[in-house]
């Protein structure tokens, strides 16, 4: 428990209150480990890439859209490593799939407000988890992303 000026502060919550937000890096060995999904059912879905080409992939239920993209070498950044601190994993979903999802929490909506090319079916790929309802759907990547370099990096002018 953190104390500031004698007052107890509660730990920050991430992912809409599902887990405590930890301010440290996870072990590199755990990144990209999809073996925990191996026994889950497989769903076929498509990604519409930034050049408008389509890439068909297989995903295991329970994986996030961001995990699926990374497992299939799709250029979906995820700069904050799924901590809802950026909008670089912004994706656009088809209406039927979007309508079946739980509403985005306020933290996700705050990040989506900064996303490039926001639509009424936009979500953060790190917060959307594949289920059987995704079978055959197309996930569209926006034409660009906005990465504000939360680590203090200052880009050089062109």
What's the whole-number average pLDDT of the chain?
A: 81
- Stronger pLDDT, 38 or 121, i.e. the higher one: 121
pLDDT band, residue 144 (cuts 50/70/90): confident
Q: 96: closest CA among 62, 131, 126? A: 131
Cβ(9)–Cβ(1) below 8 Å: yes
- Stronger pLDDT, 131 or 32, i.e. the higher one: 131
Predicted TM-score (pTM) of the model is: 0.74
User: What are the structural domains, with CATH classification, of the chain?
Assistant: 40-146 (3.10.20.30)
- Residue 18's pLDDT is 53
CA angle 77, 79, 80 (to 5 degrees): 140
- Residue 32's pLDDT is 57
In eight-state DSSP terms, residue 46 is: E
- Stronger pLDDT, 15 or 79, i.e. the higher one: 79
- pLDDT of 51 > 60? The answer is yes
What tens digit of pLDDT does each residue of 88-135 get?
999 999 999 999 999 999 999 999 999 999 999 999 999 999 999 999
Cβ(67)–Cβ(58) below 8 Å: no
């Amino acid at each position: 428990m953190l104390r500031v000026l004698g007052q107890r502060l509660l730990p920050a919550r991430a992912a809409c209150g599902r887990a405590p937000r930890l301010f440290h890096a996870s072990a590199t060995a755990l990144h990209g480990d999809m073996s925990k999904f191996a026994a889950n059912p497989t769903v076929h879905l498509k990604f519409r890439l930034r050049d408008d080409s389509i890439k068909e992939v297989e995903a295991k239920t329970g994986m996030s859209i961001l995990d699926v993209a990374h497992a299939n070498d799709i250029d979906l950044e995820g700069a904050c490593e799924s901590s809802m601190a950026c909008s670089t994993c912004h994706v656009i979903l088809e209406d039927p799939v979007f309508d079946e999802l739980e509403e985005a929490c306020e933290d996700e909506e705050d990040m989506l407000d900064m996303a490039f090319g926001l639509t009424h079916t936009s979500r953060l790929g790190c917060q959307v988890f594949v289920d059987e309802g995704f079978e055959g759907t197309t996930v569209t990547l926006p034409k660009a992303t906005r990465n504000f370099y939360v680590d203090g990096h200052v880009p050089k002018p062109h």
